[in-house]
Amino acid sequence: MQTTVDGLVADGLDLGFPLQRKELERAQMKRLRQTIEHARCHSSLYRKRFSALDVDALIESKDLAQLPFLTGADVVERGHQLHCVSQSEVVRIITMYTSGSTGKPKRFSFTAADLAATSEFFLRGMASLVDQTDRVLVILPFATEASVGGLLVAALLRGGIRATGLWPPPDVSLVSELIHARKITSVVGLPQQLLALSSWVGHGQLRTMLLCSDYAAESLRRRIEQNCGCQTFLHYGATESGLGGAVECSQHCGVHIRESDLLVEIVDSTTGEQLADGLSGEIVLTTIGREAMPLIRYRTGDVATLERGRCACGGVTARLCQMYGRLQDCTLADGSVISSQYLDDILYQVVGLVDYRVTLSRGDVERLDLEYIADSGAKEVGREIDQLLRMLPEIAPMLGAKDSLPKNMQQVERFASTHTLKRTILDLR
Ligand SMILES: [Zn+2]
């Protein structure tokens, strides 16, 4: 079955269906030129940046390389200069707190039309994994109507699909009870939460799951699918992409981008040069058609490859593959580099592992400690993690001498408050 994103993009760009790649790219570039005119007309920052630009010379996506990048720091420092509509037209502002030294947040504004485009993507993108016979549980922030969980539930209800939201999620056993009581067949949430849920909920209750907002290792996906017999789908999205961005089709070979709203490039994160399809680099987003605060060549810091060839599903919308999220590398004493994504790929093979946190410290020697949460009844998780890590030459020396009770592995009920958020490596060296 072809991706439902193709239909969305055809409608969004006023193109016929089935979509043709050449026509799609031509229509995208036309919308890009309109977006730049809109930005140059209404935003003081873009007016300055694009004052000498010949907009009509932007014909193909490679021509984007002439435009300067927009960074997270630009949004922090000069976000108000990116606004292209009056305050009264802004219906939603999303504030993101960054870990940068200034502590200043990034703020992104959206008009009703901007959110409507997201809502349309949510509804049609979800059609990859649910239909009107499903009941969907959305375990995502749900505080306001325009938060991501609220928007997704509203979009599904609008499409006649039964959906309900739950945030913050209670204990996994209670979520599992709710799934059985309400005959839920599909769940949307964070990869680790869905992994924990998959071993509680039992085989056969859930048909599909959508994993979002964080890196989902292949090993973690396989464990979810083995635990509960459901099919998993990936989503790529961030506040910058308008919450929604791209979703997997039934062939599971990359997430199809909503190209009627987003133009994606992959660049070398050091040189900034555009990379060919299939090469791994940083995702650069350009929002086309966004009203309130268009982002033109925004550097996300996320890593992936881009594929513009036809997908096995028959769809022609471009796909992001090998998505690694934001790489936060740690360089070890021997010069080798590790990241939480690298550790996820290895450690989620361990049956019973639900989540973990790594701390690097330095006394006389460099040391790695790991706290983990495991399924109840899983007894060998610490030992298996220890064994896997000892097979990695860069990490083995940081674990000290081998012991029948792995000294650096500690099972916990919950993580220390300093280390509760994502699986970033806490570096105390
Ligand atoms: Zn596909």
For the cut 80, the answer to whether the pLDDT of residue 424 exceeds it is no
pLDDT at 325: 86
Condensed to tens digits (0 to 9), the pLDDT of residues 345-388 reads: 999 999 999 999 999 998 888 899 999 999 888 889 999 999 99
Taking the centre of ligand 1 as the mean of its atom positions, its distance from the CA of residue 320, in whole angstroms, is: 11
Q: What is the distance in angstroms between the CA of the first residue and the CA of the last residue of the chain?
A: 51
For the cut 90, the answer to whether the pLDDT of residue 51 exceeds it is yes
Does residue 195 sit in the same domain as residue 256?
A: no
Q: Is residue 20 part of a domain?
A: yes
Q: Stretch 192-221: mean pLDDT, rounded?
A: 94
Q: Is residue 244 part of a domain?
A: no
Taking the centre of ligand 1 as the mean of its atom positions, its distance from the CA of residue 131, in whole angstroms, is: 17
Condensed to tens digits (0 to 9), the pLDDT of residues 140-190 reads: 987 766 688 999 999 999 999 999 999 988 899 999 999 999 999 999 999
Does residue 335 sit in the same domain as residue 276?
A: no
pLDDT band at 137 (very low <50, low <70, confident <90, very high): very high
Pairing type for strands 255-257 and 319-326 reads antiparallel
For the cut 90, the answer to whether the pLDDT of residue 112 exceeds it is yes
Higher-pLDDT residue of 335, 135: 135
Number of domains in the chain: 3
Answer yes or no: are the C-beta atoms of 92 and 109 closer than 8 Å.
yes
Q: Is residue 122 part of a domain?
A: no
Q: Is residue 112 part of a domain?
A: no
Does residue 136 sit in the same domain as residue 229?
A: yes
Taking the centre of ligand 1 as the mean of its atom positions, its distance from the CA of residue 251, in whole angstroms, is: 6
Lowest-confidence pick of 131-140, 157-166, 332-341: 332-341
- In 148-258, which ranges are E strands? 162-165, 186-189, 208-211, 231-236, 246-248, 255-257
Condensed to tens digits (0 to 9), the pLDDT of residues 302-318 reads: 999 999 999 999 999 99
CATH of the domain at 317: 3.40.50.12780
Taking the centre of ligand 1 as the mean of its atom positions, its distance from the CA of residue 274, in whole angstroms, is: 24
Does residue 133 sit in the same domain as residue 227?
A: yes
Answer yes or no: are the C-beta atoms of 172 and 182 closer than 8 Å.
no
Instruction: Classify residue 10 as exposed, middle or buried by CB count within 10 Å of its CB (0-12, 13-18, 19+).
Output: buried
Does residue 309 sit in the same domain as residue 336?
A: no
Domain boundary pick from 300, 325, 350: 325
Does residue 90 sit in the same domain as residue 151?
A: no
CATH of the domain at 348: 3.30.300.30
Q: Is residue 288 part of a domain?
A: yes
Answer yes or no: are the C-beta atoms of 300 and 284 closer than 8 Å.
yes
For the cut 70, the answer to whether the pLDDT of residue 324 exceeds it is yes
pLDDT band at 75 (very low <50, low <70, confident <90, very high): very high
18: preceding bond cis by omega (within 30 degrees): yes
Taking the centre of ligand 1 as the mean of its atom positions, its distance from the CA of residue 7, in whole angstroms, is: 12
Does residue 199 sit in the same domain as residue 152?
A: yes
For residue 148, which of 244, 236, 234 has the smallest C-alpha distance? 244
For the cut 70, the answer to whether the pLDDT of residue 193 exceeds it is yes
pLDDT band at 36 (very low <50, low <70, confident <90, very high): very high
Q: Is residue 241 part of a domain?
A: no
The pTM of this model reads: 0.93
Domain boundary pick from 273, 301, 325: 325
pLDDT at 298: 97
Taking the centre of ligand 1 as the mean of its atom positions, its distance from the CA of residue 314, in whole angstroms, is: 6
Q: Is residue 116 part of a domain?
A: no
Residues surrounding ion ligand 1 at CB below 5 Å: 3, 249, 251, 311, 313, 315
Q: Is residue 90 part of a domain?
A: yes
pLDDT at 422: 63
Does residue 65 sit in the same domain as residue 8?
A: yes
CATH of the domain at 146: 3.40.50.980
Domain boundary pick from 204, 236, 268: 236
218: tokens are 């292949």
pLDDT at 403: 81
Taking the centre of ligand 1 as the mean of its atom positions, its distance from the CA of residue 234, in whole angstroms, is: 12
Taking the centre of ligand 1 as the mean of its atom positions, its distance from the CA of residue 283, in whole angstroms, is: 19
Taking the centre of ligand 1 as the mean of its atom positions, its distance from the CA of residue 258, in whole angstroms, is: 12
pLDDT at 117: 96
- In 255-399, which ranges are E strands? 255-257, 262-267, 281-287, 298-307, 319-326, 330-331, 337-338, 353-362, 366-374
Average pLDDT of every residue of the chain: 93
Range of the domain at 22: 4-98+249-325
Q: How many CB atoms lie within 10 A of CB 404?
A: 5
Does residue 91 sit in the same domain as residue 135?
A: no
